[in-house]
Copies of this chain bind each other. A is one copy, B any other.
Amino acid sequence: MKTTRNTTAKTTILEIIKHSDVALSHTEIQTLSNNICDRVTIYRVLDRLVGEDVIHKIVNLDGTIKYASCHHVHNDAEHTHNHIHFSCEKCHLVTCLENVEPTFKLPPNYQVKEVNFTLSGFCPNCL
């Protein structure tokens, strides 16, 4: 079976994401990491971390992708990422609103596997 290894790149990148209070893009992570590794490695590390459910992926309204750490309880059985993300049009910061989980009622026979809820507008700092 395929095991996962703890490398310096992976450790560094995870630390960067964990210590950030906003979601970060691949490019932002690259800058913050002082080019500790090749950009391809960052892509691969991010994929691994997402696969391990340590971080989660956020798709912005413009299609850009950001990453944030998973702060919730690791109940495993019901590990979901159904909170809302807010993307500020002015400061461009993307924040996880972990406590805001939207409710909705789907028509029958839809099987949901992943969700992405993104809002954009002005954050409290830029209002």
- CB neighbours (8 Å) of A105 from chain B are 100
Closest to A100 in B: B104
Asked whether, in the complex, the Cβ of B89 is within 8 Å of the Cβ of A113, the reply is yes
Which parts of A34-82 form the interface with B (CB within 8 Å)?
57, 59-65
| Count of identical protomers in the assembly | 2
Stretch in contact with the other chain, from A7-15, A16-24, A114-122? A114-122
- CB neighbours (8 Å) of A123 from chain B are 109-110
Task: Give min CB distance, A87 to chain B, whole Å.
Answer: 9
- Which of B57, B64, B102, B107 lies in contact with A117, CB distance below 8 A? B102
User: What is the bound-complex CA distance between A22 and B119, given in angstroms?
Assistant: 23
- Which of B61, B65, B104, B124 lies in contact with A84, CB distance below 8 A? B104
Asked whether, in the complex, the Cβ of A120 is within 8 Å of the Cβ of B114, the reply is yes
Known: A99-B107, A114-B119, A115-B120. 6 other contacts (CB 8 A): A57-B61, A59-B59, A84-B104, A89-B113, A97-B107, A114-B120
17 contacts between A and B (CB under 8 A): A57-B61, A59-B63, A102-B104, A103-B104, A106-B119, A107-B124, A108-B124, A110-B123, A110-B124, A112-B120, A113-B120, A114-B120, A114-B121, A115-B119, A116-B117, A116-B118, A116-B119
